Amino acid sequence: MLPIVSFKKNKALDVLMLAVFTDPKEPWRERIFKLYPELETLKNETNRNKRLKVTKNFVEDFYDKNKQEIETTISNIQKAWDKIGRKLLQTLSEVFQTDWGQIKRIIGFVSINPLGPRFLHNNTFQVAYFLSQKRALELVLHEITHFIYFKKWAEVFPQDKTKTFDYPYLNWTLSEILTPVVACDLRIENIIHPTVISKGYEEHEAIRVKFGERPISLVDYFKLLYKKFRREDKSFEDFLKEARKE
């Protein structure tokens, strides 16, 4: 059975995530300050409760001013997903060679947070409300892919603890490299024609590895490895085992 995917708003989660990602220790915080300079007062704020107070006021005010745009985006993303969603979910199951199991429901929270985190414990994620519909759909696919990716990973490597599936562990890093690789599978490309999620994080694309006589990006290296396994009709489990070695 395929999971049901729905889109909603979640102001409380926006408050929390903006407070979390504006922590001085967070590596991606500048993206928030660039988008919302009103929050720059938090740049040196180490007290989480104080950050929460500021982000709560900010989120409430932002939603009041942009309510209609956010509601329209939720409706538009749901309609766009409903046209291709079931086919994508079925194709992901075929690509990963596993079913969706206990993943019965997935919720995408259309959010004012630009960072788009995903939460494996309850199969939810955030997607920014201001993205184009094409980009939003691609990022929805990217986040949903993580859910079945880690289901498969846990089947292949049951000894790995779930905490290693999140930043900054290597299992998280590999998932962010391999998700763009999977997006380039022709079975998925033929449905959504990805342009954004077929590329990895800038820091992963910047890593060069030698392939034959020429250097290529780390993401491109794994794309070639994946294509090789596909040509040789090897299983996705075999691919994960080889990718883990690399």
pLDDT score at 210? 82
In a shared domain, residues 171 and 90: no
Q: 3-state DSSP call for residue 226?
A: helix
In a shared domain, residues 127 and 226: no
Q: Which residues contact 183 (CB under 8 A, 6 or more apart)?
A: 138, 141, 142, 145, 189, 194, 197, 198
In a shared domain, residues 102 and 178: no
Of 97, 132, 167, the position where a domain reaches its end is 132
In a shared domain, residues 160 and 52: no
Give the pLDDT confidence of 92-126 residue by residue, as tens digits.
999 999 999 999 999 999 999 999 999 999 999 99
> Regarding beta strands 105-111 and 208-211, do their DSSP bridges make them parallel or antiparallel, or are they unpaired?
unpaired
Give the pLDDT confidence of 6-58 residue by residue, as tens digits.
999 999 999 999 999 999 999 999 999 999 999 999 999 999 999 999 999 99
Closest CA to 48 of 74, 77, 21, 28: 21
In a shared domain, residues 67 and 168: no
Contact indicator for 216, 208 with CB cutoff of 8 Å: yes
pLDDT-derived band at 129, boundaries 50, 70, 90: very high
In a shared domain, residues 166 and 126: no
Give me the sign of the Cα torsion angle 178, 110, 39, 35.
Answer: positive
> Whole-angstrom Cα distance, residue 246 to residue 238?
13
Residue 72 lies in a domain: yes
Give the pLDDT confidence of 145-164 residue by residue, as tens digits.
999 999 999 999 999 999 99
Residue 147 lies in a domain: no
In a shared domain, residues 220 and 101: no
In a shared domain, residues 10 and 126: yes
Residue 142 lies in a domain: no
Q: Token pair 């292949």 is at which residue?
A: 156
In a shared domain, residues 125 and 230: no
- Report the predicted TM-score, pTM, of the whole model to 2 decimal places: 0.95
Residue 233 lies in a domain: yes
- C-alpha atoms less than 13 angstroms from C-alpha of 158 in its C-beta half-sphere: 1
Q: Which residues contact 218 (CB under 8 A, 6 or more apart)?
A: 177, 200, 204, 205, 207, 208, 209
> Whole-angstrom Cα distance, residue 92 to residue 127?
20
- Residue 166 sits in which domain range? 156-245
Q: How many domains does the chain have?
A: 2
